[in-house]
Structure formats: structure tokens, C-alpha cells
Amino acid sequence: MFNLFIVRSPLQLINATEAKEHFKTKHNILMLMNNNQSDKKQLETVLSLSKWDEIIHYKPQKGSSLFQQVKLVRSLKHRAYHYLFSGDYGTINKMMMANLSAKAYYLIDDGTMSIEIHKQLQHPSTLPWSKKMKLLRYRLFALRTSMKKPLNFFTCYDLSPLKGSKIIPNDYHYLQSVFQPKHPSDDIYLLGQNIDDKWLRPGAYLHYIKEIREYYKEQTIIYMPHRHEIISNELHALFDEKFVLRPNDIPIELYFLEKSIYPKHIISFTSSALFTLNKIYPKTKIDAIVLQQDDLVMMHGFVKSCYEFFDGLSINQIDLTKGTT
């Protein structure tokens, strides 16, 4: 019996690899649903960590991809699966989970989106008419649009079990067994986020970075930008011998492991890496800089949820206007 892993990002692939090792699965099929060239290098790095029996590359077409999706689902239906793991809970992933026969279905983490998906499943809302019509299109091809079995979670987050579902902790044991960090680092690693002018009012992100420099001014800060982050001229002007820019072309979860570094101190805002690194490096001091609600132009509920989860972990919340919360 086969096992299917559906992923589209480097972090999802890391978590799929952990799931494969945790569940000790055999006959493993990996489906890479990715058309983002900026992720290619990182995906290749993660792929080198473990062997897959078969890899399917699926690149969504521009515009309407209905027929392509229907063809994909039908091509996979002739196999029976023991486990089906998905890194997303979007339309095509739901369609595959609804139509492919498996003994169990698991959602693997795509960063903090797992928190939002868990909330959605706790409080399902009525679909708007436009989405209902979109789902009806699949029924014209004799495809189901809803799952018959519960969705389980393989996750690093402390989620409460939903009715009929399982929550299996992901503690990143496989990654830790592959790499053995040896060298402690006294530098502070600041993980950048791709949120400037998307979640925040104009100029707010740069202001936070300046405040962070001042707050931790006694130590050297290594700024590691997000893979999709564009470094503005204003931000670039801040870098010097105490505030160092260090671009990175592999997932941050692998960076320290590959470099044999055991980081002493990591900071960011709501980055999902704070959760994963907290699992991989339990002795590391991790600070989450609090984004003020007045600075947010969107994602208010999501940001609030992240900080609520930080409360239950050994992650310090730093309100730069007040100090540690």
C-alpha cells in the first residue's frame, strides 16, 4: 500500500520528511506542487535529506486549472493509500483528500497556518455562494467535494484534538538525528519576515527593526531575511559590524544544523520558525517581538493567535514599548 505526501514549500517538505520517518512508512510518493523558482534551491536541499520512492512534479497552469486538477485526481485514484499527508488545506488538496482512498489523512504544518486551519475545523462557517459554485464544478466530473474521514494533525503546535481526529506531535527527531550541532553561538539571530507594507502600516517594519537594534545594542545581531523578503534601501543602510546581513538559501530549520551551530538567542515576530526552532533547540532563548495592533493593517486575528500560542511555550514575548510580557 502506498503513502502520498503533498507539499509545496520547503517547510512542508521538511515536515513531510519528519512524518515519513515518524510513521516509518514505505512505498512513499512525494507530490511537489510548486511553481515558485525562489523555492527551488531550498526544496532541492531538503530533498537530499531522505529518499523517496517516487516524486511527482505538479505545476499549476495559469488561469483556470479545473481540467488539470480533475486529471490529476483521476490519475491518482487507481492506487490505494495507507496515509495521505497534505501541507495545505486549499481547494485542490481538499479534493484529493476527498477522492483518494486512504486509511488516514494528516495535515502537516505549513507554518502557523495550521493554527488557522484548526480553528476553521472547530468552527466551520457557511461557504459563500461563489465557493459553493466552484465546488459544484467538480461534481460535474463525479468527484466528491467533502471528506468522509476526519483530518488528523502531525504538528509541532499544541493543538487540542477535534472530534474523531488525532494530534500527533512533531518534535523534529529525524532532523536532530541527521545533524549534530556542536558550536554554540553568542550572536543574536534575527529572522526577517516578508510582512512590510503587507500586514503593517508603511514604515512600521523598519521602525521595529530600529527598535530591536537599540533594545539588543550590547550584542551582535545577525539579520537573516525571509526567502521572499526584499531588503529595502532604508533597511540595508542599517547594517554594520554589529548588525550583520546574512542572506541564506536553505530553510532556517536546516541552516543551524548544517553549520553545526547551536544558537544561543533567536528573535523574530510571528515567524513559524520560532515554533520549529523551539522544538529543535530547547535550550535556545527565543524572543517574539510583539507587533502592536495599531500597526497592523490586516491579519489581526492571526497575529493574536500566534501570541496566544507563544504563551504556552518557552518563548518570551517582548513588547518594545514595555519590556517582556
pLDDT of 87 = 94
**CA–centroid distance for 253 within its chain:** 11
pLDDT of 127 = 65
Domain stops at, among 175, 200, 233 = 175
310 shares a domain with 192: yes
Domain stops at, among 124, 159, 175 = 175
Contacts 24+ apart (CB under 8 A), 244-248: 244/220, 246/222, 248/224
Compute the distance between CA of residue 320 and CA of residue 325 in angstroms, rounded to an integer. Answer: 10
Compute the distance between CA of residue 20 and CA of residue 5 in angstroms, rounded to an integer. Answer: 9
190 shares a domain with 320: yes
pLDDT of 53 = 97
- Domain range for residue 159? 2-175
pLDDT of 51 = 94
Compute the distance between CA of residue 39 and CA of residue 56 in angstroms, rounded to an integer. Answer: 16
Compute the distance between CA of residue 60 and CA of residue 303 in angstroms, rounded to an integer. Answer: 30
**CA–centroid distance for 225 within its chain:** 16
Give the position of cell 529572522: 191
Total domain count for the chain? 2
pLDDT of 220 = 96
**Cβ(87)–Cβ(15) below 8 Å:** yes
φ/ψ of 221, rounded to 5, equals -110, 125
Give the position of cell 538525528: 177
Domain stops at, among 146, 175, 204 = 175
Which residues, including other chains, have CB under 8 Å from residue 42's CB and lie 6 or more apart?
10, 227, 249, 250, 251
221 shares a domain with 120: no
151 shares a domain with 19: yes
137: which 3 cell numbers?
464544478
127 shares a domain with 8: yes
pLDDT of 153 = 97
254 shares a domain with 135: no
Q: At CA 89, angle to CA 96 and CA 83, rounded to 5?
A: 50
Tens-digit pLDDT profile for the chain (325 aa)? 899 999 999 999 999 999 999 999 999 999 998 767 667 888 888 998 899 999 999 987 766 678 888 999 999 999 999 999 999 998 889 999 999 999 999 999 988 888 888 888 887 776 677 777 777 888 889 898 888 899 999 999 889 888 889 999 999 999 888 877 678 889 999 999 988 777 899 999 999 999 999 999 999 999 999 888 889 999 999 999 999 999 988 889 889 888 889 999 999 999 989 989 998 988 999 999 999 999 999 888 888 888 888 887 889 999 998 755 5
pLDDT of 323 = 56
148 shares a domain with 102: yes
- What CATH number is associated with residue 29? 3.40.50
222 shares a domain with 98: no
167 shares a domain with 18: yes
135 shares a domain with 37: yes
Compute the distance between CA of residue 58 and CA of residue 60 in angstroms, rounded to an integer. Answer: 6
125 shares a domain with 8: yes
pLDDT of 133 = 78
202 shares a domain with 97: no
Q: What secondary structure, in 3-state letters, does 239-270 show?
A: CCCCEEECCCCCCHHHHHHHCCEEEEEEEECC
